[in-house]
Amino acid sequence: MIFGASYNLFNAEEHFISSLLAHRNHFHYLNAVVQYESNFGESAQEELFRIVNFAKLNGLVDEVFEYKPDLTLPPSINELNKRNIGLSMAKRNNVDYFTTLDADEYYEENQLDFALDFIKTQIPITTVAS
């Protein structure tokens, strides 16, 4: 049973490393879908580049995908696209159970442990015949 998560990242980079550290031991697979340009064409803070690179170099994320928003689309569609990319990356890595996170989101360790244990013991994995 493989648990995975994807971070949707543009801002709140000051929380990203501590959120990763809070979750890294609970998820088998973590990715980040990062955009360095906002849905309105504004550049991200320079610190975002450094923090994402630090996370990659230190094994806090398994993969990083750079998302370039389509400025002709509504922001909500770009955000949905980012989350779907993270899901696709997780599927490619055989993740059975998946969640999305923003950089400033944290699960309390005991609540996360409870949820993951519940999934392991109460929710059977079914295989879809091809």
For the four alpha carbons of 81, 82, 83 and 85, in that order, the dihedral sign comes to positive
pTM of the entire predicted model: 0.86
Q: In the Cβ-directed half-sphere of 8, how many Cα atoms lie within 13 Å? A: 18
CA atoms of 8 and 68, how far apart (whole Å): 13
The pLDDT score that the predictor gives to residue 129 is 47
Dihedral pair phi/psi, residue 66, rounded to 5°: -90, 120
Task: List per-residue pLDDT tens for the chain, 130 residues long.
Answer: 899 999 999 988 899 999 999 999 999 999 999 999 999 999 999 999 999 999 999 999 999 999 999 999 999 999 999 999 999 999 999 999 999 999 998 888 888 888 888 888 886 666 544 4
Contact 30, 119 (CB under 8 A): no
Calculate the alpha carbon distances from 102 to 32, 41, 58, 93, 119 in Å: 9, 20, 19, 20, 22
Find tokens 């923003």 and name the residue. Answer: 102
